[in-house]
Structures are given as C-alpha cells and as structure tokens.
A = this chain, B = another copy of it.
Amino acid sequence: MTTKDISRPVCILGLGLIGGSLLRDLHAANHPVFGYNRSRSGARSAVGEGFDVSADLEATLQRAAAEDALIVLAVPMTAVATLLDEIQVHAPHNGITDVVSVKTAVYNEIKARNMQDQYVGSHPMAGTAESGWGASMTDLFKRAVWVVTFDHLFEGEKVSSRWVGIWKDVVQMALAVGAEVVPSRVTPHDAAAARVSHLPHILAETLAIVGDNGGALSLSLAAGSYRDSTRVAGTDPGLVRAMCEGNASALLKALDEAMVILQEARDGLAAETPNIESLADNGYRSRIRYEARSGQRRSKESVSPTITSSRPVLRLHPGTPNWEKQLIHAETLGARIEVF
C-alpha cells in the first residue's frame, strides 16, 4: 500500500506522539504533508528536522483550505472544540478526521456544528507512555489497528460522494502508514476502547499506587508483572484523564464489570479454603483468545520473529449499494478491511 491512493495533501493539527509520528511516516512516503503545532519549540524542532511545520494556526488552516487538504485533528479531546471552531472560520469545507481515543465525544462536537458530511472519525490503537513531538517516531502505526468510523451512513440522509472520498482518503492514509483498518461506529468503538484501552489505565494507576503503598521493600521486590502491568501509569496524567473522563459512561460499564469480578475473587480469597479457580481459569482462557486474535501465540518450536495478525479480512468497494452492510459486518467481526 502506498500514499498514491490518498487523493489530497494531509494537514496535521497537533504534532505530539500520534500527530508527529503520522507526519514522519507520510513525509517519508513522499506524500504532501504539512502541520501545525501550538508549542513553538516543538514546531521549531520539526522544522529543524526538515518538516513543513508552522506554529501559526490561521495560516495553516488557510493553506489547508487552498490545497483542499485532509485535516487531521491530533490533539487531546479537551482541545477539539476550539480547533473545530477555527476550522469553521478558515477551512470550512475541508475533509476532517481525528485521532482522538474517544469517538462519541468528538462526534458530538461535529454534530453540534453540523459538520457530519465532511468528517470521518479515526483512532489508531498505537502509542507509548511518552508524549510530545520528541516522542514521535516513524513506523509507530505498523501493524497497529486503525479504527475508521462510518456513522454518517446511518443518519437518514444520502451521503455526498465527497464524503465517500474523504472516507476513502482516511482509510488509505491509515493503510499507507502500515496500519490495519477496522471499521466501527463511534458507540461500539468507545465501548471496546473502554475495555481494552481505558480500563487498563485505571487498573495500572491503581496497581502502581498499591505497590507504592507497600514502601521500599515492595518497590524493591517489584519485577516483571508489576513493571508491565503498571507501564501505562507512566503516561502523562493529563492525557489519561482526557481519555478516561472523555469516555466516562462506557468506561464506567467496563469498570463495574471488573469490580464484580474482583469482588468474586475477594470472596474466594476470604473463604476458609481460599479458591480463585474461576478467575484463574476464565482469565487464562480470555488471554489465550486475545493472543490468538492478535497472532501473539507462537509455538515454542517456532524461531520466526514474525507475528502475523489473525484478524479476518473483508474486501469492500466504498460507495457501492452493499457497503453499509459490509461495514457493519466488519465491525461485528472486528475485521480489518481492504478497499478496491
């Protein structure tokens, strides 16, 4: 997959870990890409490395309008509304996507401005505990899942062919940087992200605190399980808050499920003969299913370092009569798609 299938230049607003890494990959693939960063020092660093980057939002948006660029919002949820207001003033007709980890909250801002026919949500499931331009890198998205939303198809109005073109560009951009595109509407995305992305943060913060409460001996004894399970607690707390608070209702459901399971484990440990058989067996089976899906489980005999995705693939042609159904089907299966 190459960038030749992206029909527009790309304009990235926000050059942190995700936006910066996307800029690097598109630039490396020789696709026309430029960006804006609020922090002047970050923008200067990027310019110093040869990237087409500005700290002037208005000028960047005017250029995006003139070039009909696809605008990528790569800022925390808390900054989305302000940027959309600026876009409405300076680049009111451009196609827009975002890479924020919550999708309902972003879509509510889109709907409040009646921008649905120019917007396609997306979310690359990639990252590290670091943030900012300094943490950005090439190949961050290689083999990562990149969710692309399609709610606009089900809003009771005929979508424009322009919207279909924007949708295709978002998909092609994700594929061009090596990601696997999984389509999902915003509500199922947020429910899934709460389970596999936001709840891990809540549990990691909690475990980090309980370990630390044990004092010096605890921290000295902490080994691989604590290290790996608390890794994402090293994320900037502001970013953790933005994603968890921005997806509060879905996260609450996942957290409540977790607390029921923990209460059962607690009861099992408090029994006269402690017993956590159900937790250990179910947890193990769930982890094995995940490993099968992500292609992580390799036979011990295998010496190949290659991990291949085991997600099913659906091929579809955007805009054909049946594609809404195919997208729903892919969402249900968690399938990645190829477009032709």
A-B contact pairs, 9 of them (CB 8 A): A182-B220, A189-B221, A205-B280, A206-B261, A209-B283, A212-B290, A220-B311, A234-B287, A248-B269
Does A286 have its Cβ within 8 Å of any Cβ on chain B?
A: yes
**Residues 268-305 (chain A) with a chain B CB within 8 angstroms:** 269-270, 274-277, 279-291, 293-294, 296, 300
CA distance A258 to B229 in the complex (A): 14
Measured CB to CB, the closest approach of chain B to A300, in angstroms, equals 6
Which 9 A-B pairs have CB atoms at the shortest separation, nearest pair first?
A205-B283, A220-B334, A212-B286, A237-B280, A248-B274, A216-B334, A233-B287, A125-B223, A208-B286
Does A240 have its Cβ within 8 Å of any Cβ on chain B?
A: yes
Residues on the B chain within 8 Å of A214, using CB: 191-192, 195-196, 254
Does A331 have its Cβ within 8 Å of any Cβ on chain B?
A: yes
In the complex, are the beta carbons of A197 and B209 less than 8 A apart? no
Contacts A208-B290, A231-B228 given: A184-B217 contact, CB under 8 Å? yes
In the complex, are the beta carbons of B289 and A219 less than 8 A apart? yes
In the complex, are the beta carbons of B237 and A281 less than 8 A apart? yes
Contacts A232-B229, A283-B204, A289-B212 given: A334-B197 contact, CB under 8 Å? no
Q: What class of interface size applies to chain A in its complex with B? A: 35 or more
Measured CB to CB, the closest approach of chain B to A260, in angstroms, equals 9
Task: Give A289-329 as 1s and 0s: 1 = Cβ < 8 Å from B's Cβ atoms.
Answer: 11101101000100000000001000000000000000000
Residues on the B chain within 8 Å of A221, using CB: 125, 145, 147, 182, 184, 189, 192-193, 196-197, 334
